[in-house]
A = this chain, B = another copy of it.
Amino acid sequence: MTPGVRTHYPVITGQNGVFSMNPFEKVASTARQAVPLLARASAAQRDAGLARMAEGLRAARSRLLEANAADVEAARTAGAAPAFLDRLRLDDPRVEAMAQALLEVVALPSPLGRIDSLMVRPNGLRVGRMRIPLGVIAFIYEARPNVTSDAAGLCIKAGNAVILKGGSDAQRSNEVIAQVLAEALAQVGLPPGAVQLVGLGDRAQLAQLLQLDQYIDLVIPRGGEQLIRFVAEHSRIPVLKHYKGVCHIYLDESAPVEMAVALCENAKVQRPSVCNAMETLLVHRDAADRLLPEVARRLVDRGVTLHVCPRARAILQAESLPVLDATEEDWYAEYLSLDLAVRVVDGLEEAMAHIRQYGSAHTEAIVTADHGRAMEFMERVDSSVVLVNASTRFSDGGELGLGAEIGISTSKLHAFGPMGLEELTARKFVVLGNGQTRR
C-alpha cells in the first residue's frame, strides 16, 4: 500500500509504555504536512494529479468492482433495502462517471492565487486579497462510493489535503478508490498524504477525530441530520453544516397559472428524493381558487399525495381531488418523497412568516408577475438560495454556475448555500508598497 492511503483503524497502541493520546493524530499530521507542498505546486500539476486519478480509476476498474461486490454482498446479508444496495453498487458506467467527474473538475479554472482587484490606498499602497487553500478538510459522509473521488478531486483542486471518512458499508470500495487517488498524486510528484481514508468504528472514535483542531481546518459532514448534529456538537473544528432542505414555493396572487403548474411539477416530481425538491406549497388566498386546482391536478396525476390546510381542502375537495389533512408536523417535514404540504396564506407577509418559522434556510421560490413582490421576496427571505419564477431544483452548485459542488451549507458562516471550489478556499490580504511606514 502507498503511504497516505493506509486505512487507519483507531486502535490505541502503546509504545514503550506511552499511549498515543489520539489515534488519528498521525493521519491528521500527515495531512497537515501535505498542505504546503500542495499549495506550492502549480495549478497544472494539481490538474495533472486529478487527470491521473481519472486514469487510475479506469485502470483499477476490475479491482474496484470486486471490492464493491463484497461490500454489496455484506450489506445484502445484513438485510439492507434494495434502494440502499442500488446506491452502494458500482458498475462500469458508474466507474466511468467517476472518472469523468474528475476530468470535469480539471476543466474548471483554479481559484488559487487569484486577486480580484488591487486597490490603491492614499499612501500608494496597493491592497488586494488572494485566494489560498483552507488547509486540511475532514469530509465525513455516508453516501455512495463515488462521493469519495468527487470530494477528493475538489479538495485537491483547491489546494487542500482531505481526510475521508465514508460509510462503513462502502469501506472496501472506498479503500480501493482512496488508494488509487493517493497513488495518482504520488505519480505526479504531489504528496499522497493529501488524500487519506480513515476507518472509524463508532461515534466515540469520530468524536476523537473532531478534536484535532491543531491539524484540521474544516469539517464537512454530508449525510443524515443525526450525523450532522453529532458532528456539530462534538467538533472543536469549524463545521459546514447542511441540515435539511424544507423548500417552499409561494404562488403569489399574480402568478401565471401555466408557470405555476410547470414550476410546481418540476420542483416536486422531477427528483423528489433530493434536498432541493419542494416540500411545501404556499398559495395566496385570492389566487387559490384559480391556481390550486390546476396545480393539484397535475401533481396528483404524477402520483403526489397532498397534505393540506383546511382552506386548501375546501377548494380541492370541491374539485374531487384526494387530500389528507396536514398536521403541524407536515409544515416541518422534509418528505424526500412524492408528498407535499399545501397551505393557503393571506399574502406575502404570511408566506414569509411561514418560511421563517418552518423552513430550513435552504431554498425558496416565488412565482409572480408582480415586480415589487418579486423584489421584496428576493430581499427579505433569509434562505441560502432565493428564486423568482424558477424551480427550486436549480439550487445546486452545477446549475448555479459553480462548476461542481462539495455540499450545501444551511448556516451562514464562511459559506451559505451550494459550495464549489471557491468555498474551499480562503483569502489573505496582499499589500505591495515601496517603503511606506505608518504615522
Residues of chain A whose beta carbon lies under 8 Å from any beta carbon of chain B: 36, 39-40, 113, 119, 121, 125, 127, 130, 132, 134-135, 213, 217-218, 232-233, 236, 238, 256, 259, 262-263, 265-266, 270, 356, 374, 378-380, 382-391, 393-395, 399-401, 411-414, 416-418, 426-438
Contacts and interface: CB of A to CB of B under 8 A. Distances in A.
A86 to B, nearest CB: 22
Interface of A is mostly: mixed
Contacts of A132: 382, 412
19 contacts: A36-B356, A36-B382, A39-B382, A119-B401, A121-B401, A125-B394, A127-B400, A232-B236, A238-B411, A256-B435, A262-B435, A382-B428, A385-B429, A387-B430, A388-B432, A391-B436, A393-B437, A394-B431, A417-B429
A431 B236 contact: no
Contact of A263 (B384, B414, B437): B437
A407 to B, nearest CB: 14
Contacts of A135: 412
A266 B262 CA distance: 66
A384 B385 CA distance: 30
Contacts of A266: 437-438
Contacts of A134: 412-413
Nearest to A388: B432
Query: Could you say how many copies of this chain the assembly holds?
Result: 2
Given A36-B356, A391-B436, A411-B217, A400 B429 contact: yes
A213 B382 CA distance: 17
A332 to B, nearest CB: 15
A430 B394 CA distance: 11
A247 B127 CA distance: 18
Given A121-B399, A266-B438, A399-B438, A417 B413 contact: no
A418 B127 CA distance: 13
Contacts of A270: 437-438
A121 B411 CA distance: 25
Contacts of A416: 426-428
A306 to B, nearest CB: 20
A317 to B, nearest CB: 29
Contacts of A435: 256, 259, 262-263, 389-390
Given A121-B399, A417-B429, A430-B386, A394 B36 contact: no
